[in-house]
Structures are given as C-alpha cells and as structure tokens.
Chain A
Amino acid sequence: MFRATLKSLLARKVRLILSGLAVVLGVMFVSGAFVLTDTLGRSFDSVFADGFSEIDVNVAAKPKVQVNEMEGEQTVAPLPAALVDRVKQVPGAASATGVVNADGARVIGSNGKVVTSFGPPQLGENWTGESELLKLREGRAPQAEDEIVINKALATAAKVQVGQKVGVLTAFESKKRDFTLVGVFGYSGDRDSIGGVNEVFFTTPVAQRLMLGEPDVFSSITVQAAGGVSDEKLRDDVARTLGADFEVKTGEQVAADASASLKEGLSFFNKILLGFAAVALLVGTFLILNTFSIIVAQRTRELALMRAIGASGRQIIGSVVLEAIAVGLIASVLGLAAGIGVGALLAFLFGKLAGGLTLAGIGVPAAAVIGSFAVGLVITVVAALLPALRASRIPPIAAMQDVATPDRPLTKITVAGSLVTGVGAVLLFLGLSGNAGGQTLSTILGGVLFAFIGVALLTPLISRPVVSLLGAIFSWSVPGQLGRLNSGRNPRRTAITAAALMVGIALVTGVTVILDSAKGSISALAQDTIKAELVIAGQQGGPRPPTFDPGVLDQAKALPGVRLVDGEYGDMGRIDGEGTWVAASSDIASLRQIFGAKPTAGDIDRLGPTQMLASSDTATSRGWSVGSTVNVQLTRGEARTYTISGIYESSQLTNPVTLPVTAAKDFAIPQPIQGFIQLDPGTRVSDVQPQVEALLADSPEVSVADRDAFIKQQTSSLDGLLTMIQILLALAIVIAVLGIINTLALSVLERTRELGLLRAIGLRRSQTMGMITVEAVVISVFGALLGVVVGTGLGAAVVEALKDEGITDLILPWGQMGVFLGLAAIIGVVAAVLPAVRAARINVLGAIAHD
C-alpha cells in the first residue's frame, strides 16, 4: 500500500509540482523571515560588541523617559563633567573619559542636501583620540572650534575632502554651521563605518554645546580598568561610589542592551513578514485542496479498484494523506532552501541600504527549520484531508463501470458557507466594535479568516450565475461559448480556484479602502482646519524628523504680508509617570487661530512658563480639569510641575498636551519640526513663498510649501505603506495564478478525449487555445470581482469602526478596482498560455483512442 502510494505520487510529479510550488512559496516566506531577522540580529550583535569593545565600564544617567525602538532613538540626559573626576578616584579605575555621543549631527553634502541615514543614528561626538578600533585615515584630530573629523563612509556619501568647508546641522542648532574638515577616520579591519552609523567628531566644548545643549556635561563616561581588575568588580565599585542615579554597566552589557533594543524592532518586523506568509499559505491551502480534489477525481477508478480488492476506507485516506505528507515534506525542504536564499539576499540589501552594515554569516536558526516543516506539512495535510475523505467514499463498484460523478447538490456547502460567513461577521463585529475583551486584533483576524473561508464555501453557488454572466461577454464566438460553458462546468473547482485569487485581491482592496479613506479624511480635516497658507516641513527619511532653525520663525513673522507664524516642537514625555506625546508651540495665540482650536475650558490663548494646555480627550481620560497640577518629565532636565490652564477640543490634528515653548529645550529634539504661516488677507502666496525659502537657505532639511502640497507630503507616508503591502500581497496573487494554471492544466488533461473530438470535427488550434483562454479569463475575473467586493466590504467595515478615530469619509478606490479587474483578465490570459498550448498540441487520433 505504502509503495503503491509513493509510486502513484511519482507518476504524477508534474501535477503535484504546481501545488507543491504554492507550499514552497509560502514556506519560503516563513523561513526567509526567520533567516533575515536572525542574520541581522547577529550582525547587530557583532557591530555593538565591536563598538563597545574598548569600554570596560560605562557610566550613564538613567534615561528619564524610556522610549522603545519604534518611537525613536533613546536620548539620555547629560552627566555633569565633575563626575569624571569622581569616577577616576574609584580604586581599580585606570582612566575615565567623558564622552559626548548624541544623535542629530547631520552633515550637508557637496550637493547642498543633508546626508540621510535610513535607520542608524547620525552621531555627534567629542574627539578623545585614536584607539585600536578607531584610526585616522587622513589628516589630523580636531583642535579648533571650527574643526571636525568624520568617518570615511560619511565623507564618501557627502563627497567631501579633507581641507574643505563642510556645513553641519546639530542637535541644538538646525541652522547650518560651517566647519573645516581636518580629518577622516575609519575602523580596524578596513571598515568605513560601524553598522552604517554616520559620525562627526568635534572638540569637546563644541560637542557639548551643540550636541548636549550646555557646557561641561557628557553623555557618558567610559572607564578603563587597571590591570588585574575585572570589569564586573570595577562596575560594582563605580556603582557603589556614584549611587543609584546612574546606570553603570560593563561594555559587554551595554553592547547586549543596545543590540536587544534593536532586536525588539526586528522581531516586530519578523511578525509582519510572518503575517504575509500566513496569507500566502492560506491561498496555498486553497490551491492544494483543489489539486488533491482533482487528482482524487481523476483517480476514481484506481481508488475504486483498491477498494474492490480489499482496501478499507481508512487505507484510502491514509494513502492520500501520505501523498500530502510527501508533497509537504519536499515542498518544505525546497521552501526552506529558497527562504535561506531570499533571507540572505534581503539581509544583503538591508546592509547596503543601512550604509554598509557588515553582515554576520548567514545562519539558519532552528525556528526557520521547525517553522518551515511545521507549516509546510500541516498546511498540505490539512488541505488534503477533505479530498482524502471524499476519496474514501468512492464506492468499489466505480471500478466496474463509468459511474458518472453525480452533480452533488450545493445545499450543504452553501449552508456551511453561510454559517462560517456568519461566524466571521460576528467576530468582525465584536472586534471592530471593541467588544472583544482585549483580544481585538486576534478577533478581527479570526473574523477575516472565517469570512474568507465562508465566502469561499459560498462561491460555488455564486459562481453559476456570475460566471455565466461574465462568460456571456465572450459567447459571440464558438470557442468563447465553449470556454464559458467549461468554466461553469464544475462550480466547486471554479469556485476554489477563484477563491484563491479572491483572498489576495480582497486584502489589497481592503487595505486600499482603509488607507484611502484615512488619507481622504485627514486631508479633508486638514483642509478645513489648517488656516495657514504656507507650511515649513521636511520629508522624514530616517527615525529623526527634519528640523529647522527657530530663528526663521521670527524672521518670517517680520516679512510683509505675514500675519501669524507658529512653530511646532514635539517629544515623548512622561506626565505623572505615563508616557505621553507632548508638543510645544512657539506662539500659542497663533496656534489657536491657525488651527481654529476651540476652548472647552479655561484660556487657550496664552500660556505662562508653568502652564500647560490639554486636549479634551486627554483631559477626560486622565481626569484633568483647569487648575489641575501635573508632573512632567522630559527627555532632559528635571521634572517640573505644570498647571493646566486651558483645555481645547480634540480632533485628529490636535496634540494631547501643549507646553510653553521654553520647555522645548528639554525635548530630545529641541528644534522646531513644523512651521505654519498665515498671510494677511489679500496677500499672494507666491509673493511670500520665495522670501521664506530664502530664510531657509541654512536649514536644508526642510522646505516651505503651500498648504495642499504640505497635506500631500504628510499623507504620502500612507502611499508608501500601501505600496509595501501591495508588494507583499503580490505573492499571494502569484500563488493564486499558479492555482489557475494548475486547474486549467488538469482540466485539459481530463478532457483530452473531448478536446480531440472537438479538433476532429474541425475546431482549429487557435480556436482551441481561445477556448481555454476564455475559461481562464472568466475564472480569474470572477475571482478578482469577488475579491473587490469582499475587500470593499471588509474595508468599509473597518472604516465604519474607525469613525470615532477620525476616519469619517469612506473613499472607494474605483480606479484601483478597475485596475484589479483588468489585471485579473491579463492574469487569466497568462495562466492560460501553457495549458492552451498543451491543448492545441493534442494528437487528435490519440485523444479519441485515449482511455
């Protein structure tokens, strides 16, 4: 029996390759995700281990506001310079060096644009001399106030040479300042950077002033142990001397912590990739289910014979499942291998993008292997169970006669489909209305999954009229008419094939509906609310938002025709111990007018140095009212007490709380991020814009745009997100295309005799191909149509649920939907090519004699 199964499997390799390919692609996604994140994780480990290798013990202030990797770089408060001497006194410390090391040193390249990094920080540091690790390649160390040294990779990217004047923006100065580049350094092992980090070294006083905002402070102190003193002992001694206000760690610990926080981000990334793998595998499941169903149908006589000569129903199930296990195993192995390749490729691209991250060797983590085999095997076997069950019900008598497979009624499947769709709808409703009790995301995902399966089960019923209607477009010609009839011939098979395509298209459509609606709603709100003709802002490339010189705000205010100017600052702060996004405004009265803010309590037109405004939502949820006092801890400085002096009405565009502009110097980014300019009535935008532009000459990260351009710029990040999701979902669609090819190829095989007959009575080759193509196009357009409808439904449901979050307009992407349908028609034509060629090549005589 075992042998018979394996032999029959080998004889059908071609048929199984396509369904196996679906599993391979899904598994590839899974293993690729694991390999990529593992490789990057180990690369970061080694980068950090290297970067901190020369530090025995590191002293830093405890972070005042903890931010995670998703929210940006951690900024720690500075340490007083006097602490260095205290550390030096600790027995066992050979030396202690004060280090300035902060994100936000941006070099302006020879093209006048800021050199950006996609992820790694842009550090501004104080020069403390060369080391084993860090060596000057050219020039000398910075000695004067206006001298800097940068790393080789940054010099290359900025296209600057030693001796040239180079403009730099710093954490505390977003106005360009010119320095002379006096040296370029690199790292041991001929590396131009460590992990793509851009570094600028100043003299110590300059670094303190520009990167930390005050003299005589350091970011951290690095301590070298005297001979014979272990890092751990020194750490404990230093910690005891300094007390509990400081974080004292060994170099190894610092490296591990830095790496761990990055890996948190990586694991989030990993989950997203696995989510897309799940979609691909769901589609793959449909494909496998279909393939096995067709194979079982084709083997009816063979399976009946097995039954007639004594095989039990269980043995038949076993043989089909065994076949599935074999396919699953092979596909898992191939998928794993392909995933390793894809993971390595992506890691390579990531390393390049991140500016030369030195990759650790590609490794295959156990999770990739286990995940690949578990997923590959389980999916294949689950998908084959239904066909296996059907196979076991084949009566042995089918071996004796041509039992026409009766057209089973669709009642059962329709009832089941309605039930499952119902369950999906209930789950979606619960999840979207926020009644899922903390399981919102999983409830929604479960609802979507059930909805897909339910609709797939209902598809056979829907397919009859819809396919017939779609096919009517082609029925003017005989091949078209035949193709139309063929596509309606086996509603279940057509349905599953179309359902596989539906899943991908529905998800893309749903996401498009949601994002377009969000974009539309936000744009509409911004258009209604923001009463500023000009906006100063920049395109955010890395984790740090672009900033500009606050002096520009005053200069702009003085321009003729300018009525109001407001500059906006933002940061994560802790208010009464809870992490909260805080904003500061350069001119609170202008802010109120430009954003048309409405007070719900107190006064929102002015703000004293210890006063604070809150949005109505925040005030309600935190239980604040005018007169409440709160404790605010910002990234730098001591915690301060503020009194709530006014509450404004919440909208999508309001910040939770607004602090006076004096607080902004303690923000992680103490420079304005956006500026809003309202003009006097009757002033032409085109008159003022060039003047503001001129003011921004030394703030190359930002530009001034009119309001519509600004809104477009702000919502453009959603477009990027949409494109990324579409690319990832494209894989699901590719798998669905494989499904169509598979179904058609098997249908052609099944109908060999019939095709031969048609050719014998005069159907031309081209007509045969036309017939197959029509069948494919009808199936794929049907699938896309289903997907567009289901996706619109899902998207609309989510948009409805997000009404309270400010997504008020439901915007249906008609153009996109049209594109999907057109694309589906093309997909159909492409999928039909191979089966059509095969059908056209059928040997007429052989086909008629074919048994």
Chain B
Amino acid sequence: MTATVGQQAQAAARANDVWKVYGSGEAQVIALRGVSAEFERGRFTAIMGPSGSGKSTLMHCLAGLDSVTRGTVSIGETTVTGLGDAGLTKLRRDKVGFIFQQFNLLPTLTAKENILLPLSIAGRKPDPAWYDTVIETVGLKDRLDHRPAQLSGGQQQRVACARALVSRPEVIFADEPTGNLDSRSGAEVLNFLRNSVREHGQTIVMVTHDPTAAAYADRVVFLADGEIVSELIEPTAETVLDTMKKLDTPAEVGN
C-alpha cells in the first residue's frame, strides 16, 4: 500500500516513493519500502508504528539527517534529496527544528542560552515579540537563568521545544518527545505542542509509539514493515490503540 495523503493546503514536508536500504547481501535490511506522504502546513501529524516499523528512519530521511536510497524528499520548496553538506546545514538552520527524546540541551548553557542557540549559530537576532510569546507559552519565564541540571525533565523538554520554535522553522520534527517524561509532564509538553500548531500555525511531525501522545495530533500515519499501512484523522487514544492492535495481529500470526 502506498500513499494515503491529506490533499489540503500546501505540504510542509513531502516524501515521494522513498526507499531506505541498509547493508547489502544477506545483511540487507529494508527500512522503508516506497513510502510517499505529505505533511500539511499548520498541522500536527504523528507517525506511529511498532518498533522496527521504520518510523524513526522516515523521520530522519524527511529531516535530511539520513540519505534515502531511492525517491525524493522535500521540505517546503526545497528538495532535500541530493543536497550537499552546505545545503543541508542551511536547511537545518532555516527550515527545520528538532525535539529529541533525551532533550539534548547543552549542560553548560542556561535555559535562555539554549533556546537562543540555533539563532546564535545562524548569526540571527531573535524577533523579540515572538521570543516573548514562546517563553510565555512554555511557561519558563522564571527559569531562564537555570542550567539544565537544575530543571526537571518536563521543564528541560519545554526548553527544547522553545529552542525548536524560536527560529520559526517550516517544520519541527519531534522524536518521541515524551518518551523520557512522566505522564503529567508529557501531557504538558504535548498540550504545548498542540497549542503552538493551533495558535501559531506551526507544522509539527512527531514520531511516537504512545497512543495517548498520538491522540494529541490532528492526524496519525501508521507504519509497519517500512510501509504506510493506515491513517487516522482527528484521532483519539482509543482509535489509535485499536488501529495499533490490528496492525500487531498479522505480525503475531506471522510469527
């Protein structure tokens, strides 16, 4: 099964018949088998699937972190496939933001410095109004001068979210952003991500295996064995769980 896609608006990120093959010969692993997908601007999309389904690989390929074996990937107007290191660097600088499972803050910098790091790397000044808005939204106003080690996990992840948002990228890729958080902090972060989509028109693509997290998204794309197998619009935790169960079953039978 290829390509089920939302057709509305313009796509912020697009994968077109993407194949990803690791290794060769007997050790060959096909991580993606001709995936085509579009991620619309201003929407919150979750990519779900059991482990080994290729969901992380798809995200890495979309973000230009990993090369594709075949097919093309584009972000906004930019075709990612075939870009050299300089092009990819520029892409990451201007069009892409990341949120990681392990937060990945620089331990030596304060929260504020961490948030402003992408702009300072790019040599740009923050838009003060937008910066204030972001800080306001993540609720970190009184924590800006703290080091990551002085913040709780949830607070650290909110700093990471602010860091991704502050440069207003075309699309933010979030890799299991709640994987290392307790459920309450996780809910806070997810709420915050959903709000940034609804209120500020941010595009977010999130990889997760947690149905509750996926339920915060506007749309869920399901992957199994390197292919897109299903999709839900306006999901709830229950519908996501049901779909996952259906996906698991044939695999178990297969074993």
Contacts and interface: CB of A to CB of B under 8 A. Distances in A.
B23 to A, nearest CB: 13
Contact of A400 (B60, B94, B117): B60
Most buried by B among A7, A8, A10, A308: A308
Contacts of A311: 89, 121
B66 A397 contact: yes
Nearest to A315: B121
Nearest to B92: A310
Contact of B65 (A1, A302, A308, A313): A308
A396 interface: yes
Interface string B86-98: 1001001110011
A306 B121 contact: yes
Interface string A290-315: 00000000000110011111111101
B81 to A, nearest CB: 16
Given A1-B120, A7-B108, A400-B175, A309 B65 contact: no
B121 A10 contact: no
Given A10-B108, A313-B89, A400 B56 contact: yes
Contacts of B121: 1, 306, 309-311, 315
Interface in A295-354: 301-302, 305-313, 315
State which size class the interface on B falls in. Answer: 20 to 34
Contacts of A401: 56
Contact of A309 (B60, B107, B118): B118
Contacts of B118: 309-310
A761 interface: no
B85 interface: yes
Given A3-B120, A4-B120, A308 B98 contact: yes
A4 B108 contact: yes
B89 A4 contact: no
Contacts of B85: 312-313
B104 A307 contact: no
A401 to B, nearest CB: 8
Contacts of B94: 310
Interface string B109-120: 100010001101
A7 B107 CA distance: 9
A312 B122 CA distance: 9
Nearest to B180: A851
A774 B234 CA distance: 62
Contacts of B106: 4, 7-8, 302, 305
B43 interface: no
Contacts of A309: 92-93, 97-98, 117-118, 121, 163
A312 B94 CA distance: 12
Contacts of B98: 308-309, 399
A51 interface: no
A202 to B, nearest CB: 77
B192 interface: no
A849 interface: no
Contacts of A308: 65, 92, 98
A396 B97 CA distance: 12
B122 to A, nearest CB: 6
B117 A4 contact: yes
B163 A400 contact: no
B131 interface: no
Interface in A1-40: 1, 3-4, 7-8, 10-11
A395 interface: yes
A311 B175 CA distance: 20
A302 B86 CA distance: 20
A350 B113 CA distance: 55
Interface in B167-188: 167, 175
Contacts of A1: 120-121
Contacts of A7: 106, 108-109, 113
Contacts of A851: 102
Contacts of B122: 310
Nearest to A9: B108
A262 B66 CA distance: 69
Nearest to A11: B108
Contacts of B120: 1, 3-4
A535 to B, nearest CB: 72
Closest 10 CB pairs of A and B: A310-B93, A7-B108, A11-B108, A397-B65, A309-B118, A312-B89, A310-B92, A311-B121, A305-B104, A8-B108
5 contacts: A3-B109, A3-B113, A307-B92, A309-B97, A313-B89
Given A315-B121, A397-B65, 17 more contacts: A7-B108, A11-B107, A302-B106, A305-B100, A309-B163, A310-B93, A310-B118, A310-B122, A311-B89, A312-B85, A312-B86, A312-B89, A396-B65, A399-B100, A400-B56, A400-B65, A400-B100
Interface of B: 56, 60, 65-66, 85-86, 89, 92-94, 97-98, 100, 102, 104, 106-109, 113, 117-118, 120-122, 163, 167, 175
